[in-house]
Structure 1
């Protein structure tokens, strides 16, 4: 399944580009208004070149100079049907943060960034989690389990984790806004779903007003008793609202290094 993932599955389809007659000042302001570190230069939808923030910075003392005067002819591009792993090699090989996606006629149809590549890598890890859980439950309960991808209501989720970290919630909201919507992993029960993986995602989405979420649903052929659900009962966790949000601490996956200055230190700088 992983080998079939294409650039078209992850690229941003709204192509932001600038014309070659843009001035350095206009190009700088345009890049600042986007999430990109560089923009394609195009005319009538066809790519002429690419300009980076670093190239514009070199010309910052010449705000009226035209972009066409500083770009090289042509640029590195990828095609929408290219394997996502091959595209990652292109970006790595040329040290690119983002690059245009161009179809066979030379028209720009999207942009792919190293953030999109990272997103694809994160999402590709999900099937391994699902298969491990499916095999474990099948063997433990001697039951056949089907896996289906569905959109499920958040209010039908039964959590199995009692705490989440506030800093991780902010991070998950940023990911969701950027398009990293990694599906949840849940187990279907009678009238609800037991949430196995994705507690931070669910709370982040709920705070954003999202009412439903993509999920990989494990569906046993008959009801099974889950140890994780029993543990949740013992912790008093029955709904999403029962999860405690930990403020003031960082998620264990995040290590933040700081140097606290004393008054003496501050006065000497």
Structure 2
């Protein structure tokens, strides 16, 4: 509907956007650069950010940029897993049949990681999303997981991704052994007003737009409501575009956005 009305090649502001079309703000590039550093140095680290700030998008960008011939990418997003299920899921992603007992599954996973590192010359990259929801038992298991060969050599990179409360949790004394092992901790800030305008314009350009669609005042209103959170920007922009289609308007001004935000507030 939106694409055909505006005559674009694709619909903007959707999560199906290809990695090559991501909006690369300075903050986003800083985040991805740190993720790449963790991978290259086989480190443990964490990335935090508000809901919808672009953390998962950064992980997608990381996966796209690392060499599949050198790295094995393993991704977990079920933070409610217990330690045994945690190892079982990782082993499934390795294509291995997990052993039943947790200790056996853990040793099985460590053996596969070492074999990958020493014999196949590849590094396992383990990304745990929604890590702010991890239980204390799981965080302690991560501590033990990273203790390869008495900390002398690490054959894997381990990245925790979560909301800001993850940082607060890791500051607790009981988790100090984990934070001491962390080489990188990065918080992904939301977009500024200027970056929000650039973000909107970029997505429209990728869609195939050659003319302004949102006025400056409309984009400022979107920023004021979303506080620069990319997922919220996507939602408001999509709703505004749908409103414009129904009204057969090719230009979206602050009045359009105000009307949409009123509808959001009523939900």
Under TM normalisation by the shorter chain, which class is it?
A: under 0.3
Q: Which has the higher contact order (CA 8 A, sep 6+)?
A: 2
Higher strand content, 1 or 2: 1
Greater radius of gyration (CA): 1
